[in-house]
């Protein structure tokens, strides 16, 4: 049963990148008891110079479609998986995704942030199923995020010892 989560990712066609580089004075995650608190991250990819770049930039509903926002949220979720692996060493230590707090950059009249954040939530449910992957969450709208990113989220995860 070792590395079942990584086998499932491979079946899904997902290759984990390295964890995104910290852009401030923080760590990717902190374990307290059986809870992993993950820092916020964006939907970046490493480029040929090993710099983190945003394939999607701007406000959802103005500069980007909901589908592009969803894709950015999915990339963000993959980055969170890379962060989980970096902190825990093995993704099979994830017992359950407990909560996600997501922030969606959008125009004043955009009222569908939940559809954007589904890009992350859908990935976790596809990976771990309803029991482990479905979570509590908030999808909050923002005027702007760092680097003009469309989506950011932080997470709380229950882990096995």
Instruction: Give pLDDT tens digits for 6-60.
Output: 999 999 999 999 999 999 999 999 999 999 999 999 999 999 999 999 999 999 9
Q: Of the candidates 133, 134, 132, 152, which has an alpha carbon nearest to the alpha carbon of residue 142?
A: 152
Q: pLDDT tens across 139-152, in order?
A: 999 999 999 999 99
Coil, helix or strand at residue 76: helix
Angle between helices 4-11 and 113-133 (to 10 degrees): 130
- Give the chain's domains with CATH numbers: 4-11+37-159 (3.30.1330.40)
* Residues 101, 41, 80, 161, CA torsion sign: negative
Q: Is 13 left (phi over 0), alpha (psi -120 to 50) or beta?
A: left
Sheet holding 29-32, edge to edge: 29-32, 35-42, 151-159, 94-105, 136-142
pTM score above 0.75: yes
pLDDT at 2: 67
């Amino acid at each position: 049963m070792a590395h079942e989560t990584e086998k499932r990712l491979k079946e899904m066609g997902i290759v984990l990148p390295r964890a995104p580089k910290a852009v401030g004075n923080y760590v990717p995650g902190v374990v307290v008891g059986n809870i992993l608190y993950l820092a916020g991250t964006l939907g970046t990819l490493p480029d040929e110079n090993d710099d983190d770049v945003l394939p999607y930039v701007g406000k959802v509903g103005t500069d980007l479609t909901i589908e592009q926002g969803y894709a950015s949220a999915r990339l963000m979720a993959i980055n969170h998986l890379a962060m989980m692996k970096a902190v825990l060493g093995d993704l099979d230590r994830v017992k359950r995704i407990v909560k996600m707090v997501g922030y969606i950059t959008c125009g004043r009249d955009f009222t569908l942030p939940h559809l954007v954040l589904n890009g992350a939530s859908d990935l976790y449910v596809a990976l771990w199923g309803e029991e482990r992957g479905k979570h509590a969450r908030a999808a909050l709208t923002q005027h702007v995020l760092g680097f003009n990113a469309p989506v950011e989220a932080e997470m709380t995860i229950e882990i096995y010892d």
